[in-house]
Structure 1
Amino acid sequence: MLTRVSRILEYDKMKEQLKKHTTSTLGDEKVDQLEPMYDFEDVEFHQQSTYEGTKVLRLKGQVQLGGIRDIRASVKRAVIGGMLNEQELLDIASTIHASRRFKTYIEGLVDDEIDVPILQNHVEDIVPLTDAEREIKQSIDENGEVLDSASPQLRSIRQQIRQFESTVRSKLESITRSSNGRKMLSDAIVTIRNERYVLPVKQEYRTHFGGLVHDQSSSGATVFVEPESVVATNNQLREAKSKEAQEIDRILHELSQHIAEYEQELLTQLAIMTEIDFLFAKAFYSRELKAVQPTLNRDGQIDFQKARHPLIPQDEVVPIDVSLGSEYRSLVITGPNTGGKTVSLKTIGLLTLMAQSGLHIPCEEGSEASVFQNVFADIGDEQSIEQNLSTFSSHMTNIVDILDNVDHESLVLFDELGAGTDPTEGAALAISILDHVYDVGARVVATTHYSELKGYAYNRTGVMNASVEFDVETLKPTYRLLIGIPGRSNAFAISERLGLSSDVIEQAKGHINEETNQMETMIQTLEERRQQAEEAWEEAKQIRLEAENLQQDLETKWDQLEQNKDRLLEKQEQKAKEIVDEAKKEAETIISELRDIQKQNPAIKDHELIEKKKRLEQAAPDQERKKKPASKPKKAGQDVKLLPGDEVKVLSLEQKGHIVEQVSDKEYEVQLGIMKMKVPKKDLQYIDRPKPIEKKPLATVRGSQQHVSAELDLRGERYEDAVLRVEKYIDDAVLAGLHQVSIIHGKGTGALRKGVQQFLEKHQNVKNTRLGGSGEGGSGVTVADLK
């Protein structure tokens, strides 16, 4: 059964394609032995081994496998004491070298952390027979000649041979150069007959040189004479060559004995390298077909996406989508002749056999194949002249055999089921056969011409209609497989396109019963809706692609904007730091001058200190700040009664302070930094009044800590404003008796966090700082321990 199915599904032709990628005759033998496997674990293992091969090719491009030879017979002959010739020994050395080289190659992949466990397991059993390889190559050159270095005796013998040859040639060449010699010789050359050096002498001078005649020309005009003067030397030469041959035999026999000692290692290497050759042949074939590793299942489910028949040229094949075994177990394909039904059927069958043979299948990623226990097929004209069977009888004989063996783990393929007999009986028989196979639980795909089977698929659960598409406009099939839509006959449409009279067509339609007309109309409506759905799908797909491209562009531009923003912020921070550093230097100078003034003149005048204080404030960086709109400060005379503690501004001095007490109706004592001075009421501008704090005993205030929060949220603040808030907050927290506080600055660009942490590290009341933990806000919070 398998042999017949292999032939029908062209499994053998596929194997011939696979053979093109082997590198040895052993690999060819392995391909010849290839058959589908039925054990799930075996299929899974060989699929994974093919994947490892494709992985190596993808990452490395190529793999060196040349040099593998079939050395089985040579090794066996060496084991029984036979002597191997030079070429056999070279083949053994070549195989050893190829095995050792591949083992090193795979070990290099492992060192590069490329995961290939199956290949790695293979090469672990390869024993590098370096000594045997070196011994052969030191004795025999690449042309199959035993080298002088093979043994001291051989070197000595060959030196003698060269000396004898030189002597003989020298004597003979002296004859060819003499005047008498040129007259008596047919040609002034030295040649060889019967492995002895001779001269071509004219017939009439054959006795002139003495010696032996070894041969003569076809005309008899020339005889080949070994002159008497070189007979003795030729004898010595021949004896030396005999010794050479004996020494070479001895060397080859010794090498053969050494090879016999490595019988098991050599045969193991050969078996492994045969498997490796086969594995990479599958990998190369997968790359040629642009094939993928299918997902395997035991449930009889097939899902081939964009499946392509491997024997059809890639620039001609039309991919098909096939699903079977999930929502439906039977698929009935209808459509015109030469429309691609049989190709679709063979594609399903051949790809299933390929998957179960450990081969990748020419489909899109995500395709799924099942491991069936039987694959049956009845495809093509199997008429047997010898058995005097008709086409119908031949098909039925095959179908009977299938029905006798089919079970729930089978895939069955029927081509033109029920054809070759009366249409009514053939259709009824086809329906009965499909019902039987379905009841058994097998998965079945059938092609048919019968319109009755279109209705069959609609009336049975677990059965689906399909068709091959036909373009009425071009009168050509598109070879596309349409799942869910039965095929139309298209006879009337084709006839009309070919010019048949419309009257004849209309009359023909009248002979069709109403039920058939309704069926054709329904099919036509389904096709139109399918085409509309496909057009809408393509349009939606294009819109989605454009949206994805637009999103990608926006993300790219957003990333660029963020990078530019970060660069600008970094630049501004650097500039601000330089300004602040300069201001600090100026401030330190001013403070130093103030201290010197106080030391020199304790009775310093107020206006001098005010001038220095003003200079200190002016040393601060003059940076524009975005502030929230605030209500305009009011002057003291604008219905605001000033109270002790109110924050005010002395207009004439452009200085801020707070009211100490009211001296008179028109004058107030104001605290300006370290100075107190009396200021007229009209020169004061009201700014703010602090909220009253409920007076409590000190122990109660510090114990409750209710008026100062343990957290300060700075998110959204500018750096300068944030530092001022932190400074005031730390002072309040210390007065409130808090030992630990949390400053919430957020993550953002990190500029605010960095500034806050730098300020806290220098603050005299802060013991140490750290970022918040996993439950404290992480890097968006800085926790400070207070002294």
Structure 2
Amino acid sequence: ILRPSIPEILQSYEFLAEVDFIRAKSYFAIQTNSLKPAIENEQLLDWTMAVHPLLQLSLAKHGKKVVPLDIELNQKQRILIISGPNAGGKSVCLKTVGLLQYMLQCGMLIPLHERSHTGIFSNIFIDIGDEQSIEDDLSTYSSHLTNMKIMMKSCNERSLILIDEFGGGTEPQIGGAIAEAVLKRFNQKRTFGVITTHYQNLKHFAEDHEGVVNGAMLYDRHLMQALFQLQIGNPGSSFAIEIARKIGLPEDVIADASEIVGSEYINADKYLQDIVRDKRYWEGKRQTIRQREKQMEETIARYQSEMEELQKSRKEIIKQAKEEAERMLQESNARIENTIRTIKEAQAEKEKTRLARQELTDFRTSLDTLTSKEQEEKIARKMEKLKEKQERKKNKKNEPKTATATPSNSPKVIPVTVGDNVKLKGQTSIGQVMEINGKNATVAFGSIKTTVKLDRLERSNVTTKTESFAKTTFVSSQTHDQMYEKKLNFKQDIDVRGMRGDEALQAVTYFIDDAILIGMDRVRILHGTGTGILRTLIRQYLSTVSGVSHYADEHIQFGGAGITVVDLD
């Protein structure tokens, strides 16, 4: 039964194995917080916060965290020589680089920061641990040399070499010399590598040759403990004397050892430690300065934004203030025009009318000639007053209201005077006080004058005298308000240039009607010169309007025959 399905079963078996393999990789990636970094088509190591996954899992069981590794290898610094104290993390750095690079090239996700960049190497050569073999008659040093021979023969610019305790296992002086010669060949072949060592000559080689760079595993001299942090740029100290003293080796033994090696070496090692310490200090300072600069830039940007907003608000307030001033000017203009009309109705002399108009013109001119600075100062003072007024209102609102009004809060009764707008108690008709004789007052309700006792009168809520002129017993409040609004918004000029004859006549008709209705003395019609047809039609119409007393060309300086000035009764 199964034999015919053997190919399908084998295929399913392979498929399940592949799916299980993919699931295992993803599960391991989740466990180790791994990800896929940016992969470049070149030889490169630019890793940030790389972590050895097995060490991470092991320390996590004991509630500890791995110190992440930051490392960079590129075309300018291909080989990194790591030095530092024993048990300081040199080998862990080496194994982290080897394991993560191999995992990546096996298609696995690796635990490092997402901003890291990785490359691909054709060969990875590793010499870690003691490959001593009794059967093959190989000592520790012999096994190291065998590996060096294979590496020198096979490595190229696409290779990665990882060597732990480079040159170790034999006499330090000759071991260091052979290691330096081998390192020179690696550098000539432009290979990449990470190498750990204690030899001073290899540190000097890294300082003197391009392509090779020193790195140090940091150590806290005060706390006498390793920090497990890699710092590229300076060689590290072995801290042999300090570690021996911490372990408790007799002080006389340490003194003898120091004397044997010589004060010059001890001092050089001490100076190296001081340099590393100072570099850490200034690196911390630089980070602090960067943070402060960033905060300062953000603060400056915020202040600039707020200043721009304030400038914008200031311009808006000035604009509103100017509009308010213009509105007040128009209202003043309407009041003066109304006064002139009243004088004219009272058959006053034309000279007084002319003088009143001249005063209005002077007032406008004086307002326009104010410098912008003066305007801004006045507006600023106005804004301050408005702000104080708003504050007072706000404070009043916040005060608790009493259930009954006290006598001090009751409004004062203002006596009626000549010119006040008044009404009879219980009535809505509004009149104006013309004269007061003792306890009696003469009040004009429209065209009707009557004598009323003062105690029967009460002041009207109407605030402007112009309203009292227009409001009578025969005109509704709504009609009066419409008329007053029309008077405020009325323009004394109309432009009919470009219109057809019938359109122009209709516009002029409405315009003249409104002007007569609100009591204008003079208006202007802009019709242009052209062929003169519009001018003739408009003037023929004006000659038929009873409210028009006179019309003529404007003065030559202000438009001449292109404008008709119309005087109204």
TM, length-normalised to structure 2: 0.53
Amino acid at match of 1:610: L
Counterpart position of 1:428: 177
Asked whether 1:610 is paired with 2:359, we answer no
Taking the aligned partners of 1:598 and 1:527, their CA distance within structure 2 comes to 105
Contact 2:80 2:212 in 1 (8 A): yes
Amino acid at match of 1:289: N
Asked whether 1:343 is paired with 2:92, we answer yes
Contact 2:85 2:240 in 1 (8 A): no
Asked whether 1:391 is paired with 2:140, we answer yes
CA offset at residue 423 of structure 1? 3.3
Matches within 5 A, 1:172-183: none
Q: What do residues 172-196 of structure 1 show as CA deviations (whole Å, max 9, x unaligned)?
A: xxxxxxxxxxxxxxxxxxxxxxxxx
Cα 1:575/1:282, change in 2 over 3 Å: farther
Report the identity percentage: 29
Asked whether 1:583 is paired with 2:332, we answer no
Asked whether 1:296 is paired with 2:45, we answer no
Counterpart position of 2:231: 482
Contact 2:45 2:71 in 1 (8 A): yes
CA offset at residue 377 of structure 1? 0.8
Counterpart position of 2:166: 417
Matches within 5 A, 1:161-310: 278=22, 285=29, 289=33, 293-294=37-38, 296-298=40-42, 300-310=43-53
Amino acid at match of 1:468: M
Taking the aligned partners of 1:452 and 1:581, their CA distance within structure 2 comes to 90
Amino acid at match of 2:50: A
Which of 317, 323, 337 is the matching residue for 2:72? 323
Amino acid at match of 1:307: A
CA offset at residue 604 of structure 1? 4.1
Q: What do residues 329-376 of structure 1 show as CA deviations (whole Å, max 9, x unaligned)?
A: 332223333221111111222233344455565444653333211111
CA offset at residue 317 of structure 1? 1.6
Asked whether 1:546 is paired with 2:546, we answer no
Contact 1:301 1:368 in 2 (8 A): yes
Amino acid at match of 1:494: I
Taking the aligned partners of 1:569 and 1:459, their CA distance within structure 2 comes to 65
CA offset at residue 618 of structure 1? 5.7
Counterpart position of 1:527: 273
Counterpart position of 2:320: 574
Amino acid at match of 1:378: D
Which of 438, 447, 452 is the matching residue for 2:196? 447
CA offset at residue 414 of structure 1? 0.9
Amino acid at match of 2:277: Q
Cα 1:564/1:290, change in 2 over 3 Å: farther
Q: What do residues 589-625 of structure 1 show as CA deviations (whole Å, max 9, x unaligned)?
A: 6457758978997x94312321244357668998996
CA offset at residue 410 of structure 1? 0.6
CA offset at residue 417 of structure 1? 2.5
For residue 228 of structure 2, give the secondary structure of its aligned residue in structure 1.
strand
For residue 160 of structure 2, give the secondary structure of its aligned residue in structure 1.
strand
Contact 2:41 2:119 in 1 (8 A): yes
Amino acid at match of 1:606: E
Taking the aligned partners of 2:68 and 2:181, their CA distance within structure 1 comes to 31
For residue 511 of structure 1, give the secondary structure of its aligned residue in structure 2.
helix
Cα 1:381/1:552, change in 2 over 3 Å: same
Counterpart position of 2:438: none
Contact 2:123 2:155 in 1 (8 A): yes
For residue 311 of structure 1, give the secondary structure of its aligned residue in structure 2.
helix
For residue 321 of structure 1, give the secondary structure of its aligned residue in structure 2.
strand
Taking the aligned partners of 1:452 and 1:507, their CA distance within structure 2 comes to 24
Matches within 5 A, 1:736-747: none
Cα 1:291/1:528, change in 2 over 3 Å: farther
For residue 170 of structure 2, give the secondary structure of its aligned residue in structure 1.
coil
Amino acid at match of 2:66: V
Amino acid at match of 2:158: E
Unaligned 5+ runs, structure 2: 375-524, 529-561, 563-569
Taking the aligned partners of 2:161 and 2:7, their CA distance within structure 1 comes to 51
Q: What do residues 137-158 of structure 1 show as CA deviations (whole Å, max 9, x unaligned)?
A: xxxxxxxxxxxxxxxxxxxxxx
Cα 1:608/1:283, change in 2 over 3 Å: farther
Contact 2:258 2:266 in 1 (8 A): no
Contact 2:94 2:164 in 1 (8 A): yes
For residue 533 of structure 1, give the secondary structure of its aligned residue in structure 2.
helix
Taking the aligned partners of 1:765 and 1:311, their CA distance within structure 2 comes to 95
Q: What do residues 530-572 of structure 1 show as CA deviations (whole Å, max 9, x unaligned)?
A: 3223322322332332343244234334434543553454355
CA offset at residue 628 of structure 1? 6.6
Aligned length: 369
Cα 1:619/1:280, change in 2 over 3 Å: farther
Contact 1:339 1:470 in 2 (8 A): yes
Counterpart position of 1:220: none
Taking the aligned partners of 2:266 and 2:76, their CA distance within structure 1 comes to 25
Contact 1:403 1:437 in 2 (8 A): yes
Contact 1:438 1:444 in 2 (8 A): no
Taking the aligned partners of 1:468 and 1:545, their CA distance within structure 2 comes to 26
For residue 318 of structure 1, give the secondary structure of its aligned residue in structure 2.
coil
Larger deviation, residues 371-380 vs 357-366 = 357-366
Contact 1:485 1:523 in 2 (8 A): no
Cα 1:519/1:304, change in 2 over 3 Å: farther
CA offset at residue 520 of structure 1? 4.5
Taking the aligned partners of 2:303 and 2:143, their CA distance within structure 1 comes to 70
Cα 1:274/1:451, change in 2 over 3 Å: same
Asked whether 1:555 is paired with 2:301, we answer yes
Larger deviation, residues 448-457 vs 374-383 = 448-457
Q: What do residues 502-532 of structure 1 show as CA deviations (whole Å, max 9, x unaligned)?
A: 44433322322x5xx5455334323312322
TM, length-normalised to structure 1: 0.40
Taking the aligned partners of 2:27 and 2:327, their CA distance within structure 1 comes to 68
Matches within 5 A, 1:24-103: 77=5
Counterpart position of 2:206: 457
Cα 1:288/1:589, change in 2 over 3 Å: farther
Q: What do residues 404-463 of structure 1 show as CA deviations (whole Å, max 9, x unaligned)?
A: 422221111111233333434433332333233223331122222334433443454433
Contact 1:286 1:359 in 2 (8 A): no
Taking the aligned partners of 2:180 and 2:164, their CA distance within structure 1 comes to 14
Asked whether 1:381 is paired with 2:124, we answer no
Contact 1:335 1:341 in 2 (8 A): yes
Cα 1:404/1:357, change in 2 over 3 Å: same
Taking the aligned partners of 2:242 and 2:260, their CA distance within structure 1 comes to 16
Amino acid at match of 2:330: K
Taking the aligned partners of 1:462 and 1:555, their CA distance within structure 2 comes to 42
Unaligned 5+ runs, structure 1: 1-73, 83-262, 630-762, 767-786
Matches within 5 A, 1:508-527: 508-512=257-261, 518-527=264-273
Taking the aligned partners of 1:474 and 1:381, their CA distance within structure 2 comes to 32
Taking the aligned partners of 1:527 and 1:339, their CA distance within structure 2 comes to 14
Q: What do residues 159-209 of structure 1 show as CA deviations (whole Å, max 9, x unaligned)?
A: xxxxxxxxxxxxxxxxxxxxxxxxxxxxxxxxxxxxxxxxxxxxxxxxxxx
Contact 1:496 1:502 in 2 (8 A): yes
Taking the aligned partners of 1:607 and 1:598, their CA distance within structure 2 comes to 9
